[in-house]
Amino acid sequence: MARKRKNRTHLKGGTSAATTTVDGVPKSFIIKHGQVGSSLTQLVRDVRKVMEPNTASRLKERNRNKLKDYLTLAPALQVTHLLAFTLTSIAPSLRIIRLSAGPTLSFRVERYSLMKDILNTSRRARSIGMEYLSPPLLVLASFPPPSPTTPPHIPLLMKSFQTLFPPLAPHALTLSSARRVVLVAYNSERGTVDFRHYVITVKPHGVSKRVRRVLEGAPATKNSTSASGILDLGSEQDVADFLLRRKGELGPEGGYESAASSTESVAGDDEDAVDLADDYVGRNNKKGQRRAVKLDEVGPRLELRLVKITEGVPGREGSVIYHEFVKKSKKEVAALKADHAAKEKLRQERREEQDKNVQRKLTKTKKHSKGSASEEDEGMSEKELQDVEGDWDDEEEISEGEVSEAEEDRESSGDEEEEKRPAKKVRMRSQR
């Protein structure tokens, strides 16, 4: 029986879906630049998890890599943002570079906490993995509204954080893809930006904590060893001991606690409760169910201070739009702008001159190669004609089969040499 041949290795349409990219979705590189410690290296990994799935999560930096290498490689991979962490003598710094024309925002990292620090302080452990298959939702808080008194760099700061994440389309967004939230809050008193990362959790509303544990099963805690999800009631005499009584507290007259006193453990208030518009991730989170929405912080946590905003990218920087510590007068700003404009004009002129020189050299080499080829053809033809004219004589007649005396002498001498050569002795090996 003939073996069945395999003729389908992929699902139909899988290749086209993988190769196409969604328009308007920003992509980012998060790197560390220069010599940094292990803590800052872990912070780079944590920020990559926040920016997933539209970032290079497994990007490996090398010591010999320069910032220019990433700036050159990024446009070919359709990367729109570059986040570079570096360590200075004062504090860690972060640069957010908008590719490929700028601007560049420089921040000082005042304080930061890693993901492992946030999870170690939480009451329960979380399984992290499936939440990072969809991009987070961005929330901007406490930014001053646009007004004549608003500093001019605040709108640019807001726009820079907005372009880091995909634009939010409420009509096209599916409810199950909203799994994480990134909060960027402006602290007007300190003049800093607070960066927070949360995971959205949905729980039953109007049900006490103990009843919810019976419905959902045993929660995963740090000290729990069983992964079956079955609640352990072996230490209770009756299920009412678990449902109606607080832990370590007896009811009136040493009996059970009334149901009215357990209302304090109801999950969520009416303000936190929503009716699900569609099916959501989790047990019994069906469409139309009333659920309480809660945000659990998973980190990292950053406090950033904006230091400088410049036009362009590193290596091709333009004028300084904003500086936290250096203030200049209007005349100085105008002089700097004129200087940058003159440098940019000179750079464009040099670029045009280089392009013209390249084109001129290319045309010159093409003409030279064509001319040399034609001269060689002409030279060979003239030489051949001269050889032909020198060998043959019009008055001399030579018929076929006639041989000159010089050729006869050469043949006779060759035969005599062959006869004079001694015959080679053939040695026979004795047969053993």
Could you tell me if 61 and 84 lie in one domain? yes
Residue 108 lies in a domain: yes
CA distance 241 to 390: 127
Contact 94/84 with Cβ under 8 angstroms? yes
Looking at the structure of the chain, the number of domains it has is: 2
CA distance 33 to 22: 29
Could you tell me if 333 and 192 lie in one domain? no
Quick one: DSSP state of residue 47? H
Residue 401 lies in a domain: no
Residue 389 lies in a domain: no
Residue 119 lies in a domain: yes
Question: What's the pLDDT at 11?
Answer: 47
Could you tell me if 108 and 182 lie in one domain? yes
CA distance 250 to 247: 8
| Domain assignment of residue 124, given as a range | 24-206+267-322
Please give the full DSSP string across 140-192, using - where no structure is assigned.
EESPPPS-TTS-THHHHHHHHHHTTSPPP-TTT--GGG--EEEEEEEETTTTE
What kind and span of H or E run contains 405? Answer: helix 405-420
Question: What's the pLDDT at 94?
Answer: 96
End-to-end Cα separation, the chain, in angstroms: 58
What kind and span of H or E run contains 69? Answer: helix 67-73
Which of 218, 217, 213, 210 lies closest to 245, judged by CA?
A: 210
Could you tell me if 333 and 315 lie in one domain? no
- Boundary of a domain, candidates 275, 299, 322: 322
Residue 153 lies in a domain: yes
CA distance 318 to 356: 26
Q: Do strands 301-310 and 137-141 pair parallel, antiparallel, or not at all (unpaired)?
A: unpaired
Residue 29 lies in a domain: yes
Cα distances from 373 to residues 149, 384, 386, in angstroms, run 74, 17, 21
Helical spans, DSSP H, in 185-238 = 209-216
Structure tokens at 353: 């001159």
Could you tell me if 272 and 356 lie in one domain? no
Q: What is the CATH number of the domain that holds 300?
A: 3.40.50.10480
Could you tell me if 106 and 184 lie in one domain? yes
Cα distances from 318 to residues 33, 321, 350, 423, in angstroms, run 21, 9, 18, 92
Could you tell me if 146 and 192 lie in one domain? yes
Could you tell me if 317 and 334 lie in one domain? no
Quick one: DSSP state of residue 206? S
Q: Let me know the angle formed at the C-alpha of 64 by 59 and 66, rounded to the nearest 5 degrees.
A: 75
Residue 146 lies in a domain: yes
Residue 285 lies in a domain: yes
Could you tell me if 75 and 151 lie in one domain? yes
Could you tell me if 317 and 335 lie in one domain? no
- Boundary of a domain, candidates 322, 343, 369: 322
Average pLDDT, consecutive stretches of 10 residues, N- to C-terminus, the chain (432 residues): 59 41 81 91 95 92 88 92 94 94 94 93 73 93 90 92 91 89 94 94 78 65 54 73 62 42 46 83 84 89 95 87 84 79 85 91 86 62 51 48 52 54 56 48
CA distance 141 to 123: 27
Could you tell me if 131 and 167 lie in one domain? yes
Could you tell me if 33 and 168 lie in one domain? yes
